[in-house]
Chains A and B, each alone.
Chain A
Amino acid sequence: MKEPMDLPGLRRLIEVCQRLKLELETLPPAREPLKAGSLLEGLPFDPVLASVYARVGRARFATNLGGVGWVLDRSDDEVHGMEEETRRWGEMWWEEFGEPMIVFGGNIYTYATVPSLADERGWQPVVEVNTYEGDLLVMPVASNVDRFFDSYSRYLEALVADPRYLETGEKELYFPWDATEILARDERLVELMRAGRFDALMKNGDDSTRRWVAKVMGSPA
């Protein structure tokens, strides 16, 4: 049997939650989790996400921080939340975005992989999707799911070290908005952005979103 791939980003996120005493909850994986490349709603299932679900059936990270915490949708022997949400959400939004996506978690916004932008290994980039009351805003956040966990763990470290958070508990840093320096270290993500691969998805962005993109890419707006 093939060894599941290493997930240093997920390991790091778990370690950060433990070290910073942030809430961390996981459920055991399904006996037969979805396999890489199997079809979900007609889309190839991301190999990195498949490795994640081979380890946990659901996970909650830093949810004691309210809206900035992050939840991996449940997919185990009892509940197929991730699969059902991808189907339901897809029916509602794929057409609007002109792009099918696999929904796998989120905070107040939805996080999804984009199969059409997969690399040669089949690894799919991750986007944050805000569909609140007609916003339809997409922000690219990682070149793959594990890299997202890595970036998110670094964001949590920055958030908790922020003087405003330390003094008052105020959460004034938002992912991915205030994490441009962290995201800029994801070279593959930056490459995709520079190549304009997210442009169609980000068609509803405004000037401030374009400035954000420029910051991640390390180029002037």
Chain B
Amino acid sequence: MFKRVSARGWALGLVGLVLAGCATHRPPGGTLLAGLRPGVRPAVAVASAAPGGEESAVAGSGGGVGAEPGVARLVLEGGTGGVLARPVRSRGSAGRVDDGHEEARERARQVEGERAEALVRAAREQGREPDEARRAETERALAWMVGVASGAREVGTRLVFTFWVHEGALTPLGYQEEAGGGSTGRGVEAHVLERELRPFFREPLGRSTGEVVLRLRREEGRWAVDYDATRQGTRPVEAKTLAVGTRGTPSATFLAVHEAMRKGLRAVQVWEGGTARVEMTVELEDGRLTGWELVEARHTREGTGGGPRALSSEVAGHAVQVVLPFTEGLGRRTVRLVLRVEHRAGDAEARGRVEEAWVERPSSEWALTPERNWYHAMHEALLLRWREGVYEGSAWLAQKGVEEAALWFVGGLVGKGLGSFMTKGLEWVPKALGREPEVAAGWLRSAVKRLSGEEKNAFEQLWRKVALEGEQALTQSERSALRGLFVRLELVVQEPLNPNLKNKLRNEARNYYKELYPQLARALDKLAKELPIHHRRPLQYAHLFPTDDINAAENLATLRKYVHDQISFLWVRFGKARPNPTADEVRRAAEIIDGHFEPWYHRVDDSPGLSRTAGEAREAALHELRSHFPGFE
């Protein structure tokens, strides 16, 4: 007897051994943040503290080589110093410029990691009680175990519950039930078993980290419990690291799982007196059921010759009971269930129990690379607030815009494979978002600044909905609106920046630069006028590089104002020679200027040992620019 069923479309079979065709309901798309190389912590370019106390000189340009004569010394009261210890580079060396870019990238990765950590910390701590959440985890897990055990009365029955434990956050990884074959034991009241189990939630399920297996063995009038907490292993991707303070499963999740089990198992029938093995899968994404499939219903014992019998509704109920806690995990995964069903003589319907349930993960998503870890941690943190669903949680979530959570926005876009839906027909947006996560995050952060406040809010709100509730949660008009916003992004990144946008981006660049070079932050605050943040490729040409973040770490450098003025002078000349330059022309001019001025980059003083002044560097750069760009004055 077999039935072949899936959520997408199913047909009733009749009798015999079955292997159903596998209907899958996975959304399209690739691997989360795929193709990334592991992050490397940057070699820190340490600031050497300037000697002195309250009046530490961070810049002594008063008359040294390279200083503009007569320019006042920069003095930072109470300063912590601010001279980067990076070796000064000689001019015109493309290889060394590349080294500088790589170093900047490493700093950017580090900053993104720190931002992700800060967001996770805030999600865990702001306006909530982590201890309360841990207690809620315990209560939910206890309810699961006691509920499942209540239906197993055969002496000798063994139940095995496997959790991943992380500081009180409990994620079910597996469940097994082994029939005992003995007599029916006396009833064990729920509170008795609960009392038996509760100590295990202090140790080993309390605050340790790793895999914990709890084994229950049915005796005549009680359950014997033991555990194994020796398996450490690698944290599965679906495992929570933050305890969630909810009391039960959301009703929508319960109803979806219930519906799946009811439909799936309704299709199974067993010959009178026979037994069968039933295999089902449930596709999950975070707490959402995204698909299910009846994979197999295979006869394991011939019947006694009577007709087929349907399964009792209690079988589906038991399956729901087993599966629900698995919805507490994170990300995309499959929960596979194996049930043993049988019909006993004299019964109207067949009965059955789940023998085994476990989580399957696509192997490519198994390992948590550092970059994937960032996204994963941020997603969990934001999901936590959403799951807890209290007003404060919603308000907290609404504040997490692209600025703070760009990596989450980008990681979700790539990971959920939404490129085709959102960005079909677009050129620059998919390219920009397809780059390394910290690069794409920076691009998105700068790009949304070009949207109006209303557009930015709408983008954040719609994308949060997709990320937390799934694409299918969007209404048709919301889908159109989100698609429209991606189209807007595509357009605005090709438009020249207006002065107000430049202000915003300069302010953003300044704040970002302070994160990249914290040892210079104080000097940059105190001496904003004296220490401009230079855009190596100018903001006025940002639209010529639509896939690049104009505020990327490698495009920023602080330097003394009088040096920056020399560079600005060169760009004025360039603008006159090339009123409508190509991207290549801008790129080349920036390389030439970098080649002559790089020794001053990332410094709040004048580099010692410079062989020429900023004015001389300007003249040399001018000479080189003239030779590359005819008409250059």
Interface residues of A (CB under 8 A from B): 60, 63-64, 66-69, 71, 74, 79-81, 84, 87-89, 92-93, 96, 105-108, 110, 130-137, 139, 167-168, 170-172, 174, 177-178, 205-209, 212
Verify B528–A66 contact, CB threshold 8 A.
yes
Contact of B575 among A66, A67, A134 (CB under 8 A): A134
B281 CB to closest chain A CB (Å) equals 44
In the complex, A84→B571 CA distance in Å? 24
Contacts of A105 in B (CB 8 A): 529
Verify A84–B70 contact, CB threshold 8 A.
yes
Verify A79–B565 contact, CB threshold 8 A.
no
Question: Which range contains the number of B residues in contact with the other chain?
Answer: 35 or more
Contacts of B504 in A (CB 8 A): 172, 174
B574 CB to closest chain A CB (Å) equals 7
A202 CB to closest chain B CB (Å) equals 11
Verify B534–A133 contact, CB threshold 8 A.
yes
In the complex, A71→B532 CA distance in Å? 14
Verify B528–A174 contact, CB threshold 8 A.
no
In the complex, A63→B533 CA distance in Å? 16
A5 CB to closest chain B CB (Å) equals 26
Decide if B126 is an interface residue (CB 8 Å cutoff). Answer: no
A84 CB to closest chain B CB (Å) equals 5
Verify B72–A107 contact, CB threshold 8 A.
no
In the complex, A123→B500 CA distance in Å? 29
Contact of A63 among B502, B528, B562, B569 (CB under 8 A): B528
A108-B533, A133-B568, A174-B500 known; 12 new pairs, CB 8 Å cut-off, are A80-B72, A84-B70, A89-B565, A92-B569, A105-B529, A133-B538, A134-B571, A136-B572, A137-B499, A174-B507, A207-B498, A208-B500
Contact of A134 among B70, B71, B503, B574 (CB under 8 A): B574
In the complex, A93→B125 CA distance in Å? 52
Residue of A79, A92, A205 with most chain B CB atoms under a 10 A cut-off: A92
Verify B72–A74 contact, CB threshold 8 A.
yes
The residue of chain B having its C-beta at the shortest distance from the C-beta of A139 within the complex is B499
Contacts of A74 in B (CB 8 A): 72
Verify B399–A66 contact, CB threshold 8 A.
no
Contacts of B575 in A (CB 8 A): 134
Q: Digit string of B136-170 for contact with A (CB within 8 Å is 1, else 0)? A: 00000000000000000000000000000000000
Verify B572–A134 contact, CB threshold 8 A.
yes
Contact of B72 among A79, A87, A133, A205 (CB under 8 A): A79
Q: Sample 19 A-B pairs with CB under 8 A, ordered by A number.
A: A60-B526, A63-B525, A63-B526, A66-B528, A81-B72, A84-B70, A87-B70, A88-B565, A89-B565, A108-B507, A108-B533, A134-B571, A134-B572, A135-B568, A139-B499, A174-B504, A205-B499, A207-B498, A209-B498
Verify A177–B500 contact, CB threshold 8 A.
yes
Verify A67–B507 contact, CB threshold 8 A.
yes
A155 CB to closest chain B CB (Å) equals 13
In the complex, A64→B524 CA distance in Å? 10
In the complex, A209→B500 CA distance in Å? 9
Contacts of A107 in B (CB 8 A): 528-529
The residue of chain B having its C-beta at the shortest distance from the C-beta of A72 within the complex is B529
Verify A133–B540 contact, CB threshold 8 A.
yes
Asked if A71 meets B503 with Cβ closer than 8 Å, knowing A84-B70, A88-B562, A108-B510, the reply is: no
Q: Digit string of B434-462 for contact with A (CB within 8 Å is 1, else 0)? A: 00000000000000000000000000000
B445 CB to closest chain A CB (Å) equals 13
Contacts of B569 in A (CB 8 A): 92
In the complex, A53→B498 CA distance in Å? 35
Verify B528–A133 contact, CB threshold 8 A.
no
Contacts of B478 in A (CB 8 A): none
In the complex, A172→B403 CA distance in Å? 13
Verify A132–B510 contact, CB threshold 8 A.
no
Decide if B336 is an interface residue (CB 8 Å cutoff). Answer: no
Contact of A132 among B399, B403, B524, B539 (CB under 8 A): B539
In the complex, A92→B565 CA distance in Å? 8
In the complex, A140→B162 CA distance in Å? 70
Contacts of A177 in B (CB 8 A): 499-500, 503
Decide if B466 is an interface residue (CB 8 Å cutoff). Answer: no
Q: Digit string of B558-589 for contact with A (CB within 8 Å is 1, else 0)? A: 00001011111101101100000000000000
Verify A88–B68 contact, CB threshold 8 A.
yes
Verify A69–B498 contact, CB threshold 8 A.
no
Verify B539–A133 contact, CB threshold 8 A.
yes
Contact of A71 among B498, B506, B528 (CB under 8 A): B528
Decide if B511 is an interface residue (CB 8 Å cutoff). Answer: yes
Asked if A209 meets B499 with Cβ closer than 8 Å, knowing A108-B506, A135-B540, the reply is: yes
The residue of chain A having its C-beta at the shortest distance from the C-beta of B68 within the complex is A88
The residue of chain A having its C-beta at the shortest distance from the C-beta of B574 within the complex is A134
Verify B574–A67 contact, CB threshold 8 A.
no
Interface residues of B in 510-559 (CB under 8 A from A): 510-511, 514, 524-526, 528-529, 532-535, 538-540
Verify A67–B499 contact, CB threshold 8 A.
no
In the complex, A139→B502 CA distance in Å? 14
Verify B499–A66 contact, CB threshold 8 A.
no
Verify A133–B567 contact, CB threshold 8 A.
yes
Asked if A133 meets B571 with Cβ closer than 8 Å, knowing A92-B565, A206-B498, the reply is: yes
Contacts of A96 in B (CB 8 A): 572
Verify B399–A131 contact, CB threshold 8 A.
no
A160 CB to closest chain B CB (Å) equals 16
The residue of chain A having its C-beta at the shortest distance from the C-beta of B521 within the complex is A66
In the complex, A75→B514 CA distance in Å? 29
B508 CB to closest chain A CB (Å) equals 10
In the complex, A95→B271 CA distance in Å? 98
In the complex, A205→B540 CA distance in Å? 12
B631 CB to closest chain A CB (Å) equals 16
Contact of A108 among B496, B532, B535, B538 (CB under 8 A): B532
Asked if A208 meets B568 with Cβ closer than 8 Å, knowing A107-B529, A135-B540, the reply is: no
In the complex, A38→B575 CA distance in Å? 37
The residue of chain B having its C-beta at the shortest distance from the C-beta of A132 within the complex is B568
Contacts of A178 in B (CB 8 A): 500
In the complex, A92→B526 CA distance in Å? 25
In the complex, A174→B538 CA distance in Å? 20
Interface residues of B in 309-335 (CB under 8 A from A): none
In the complex, A132→B570 CA distance in Å? 11
Verify A135–B502 contact, CB threshold 8 A.
yes
B170 CB to closest chain A CB (Å) equals 34
Verify A66–B540 contact, CB threshold 8 A.
no
B117 CB to closest chain A CB (Å) equals 18
A38 CB to closest chain B CB (Å) equals 19
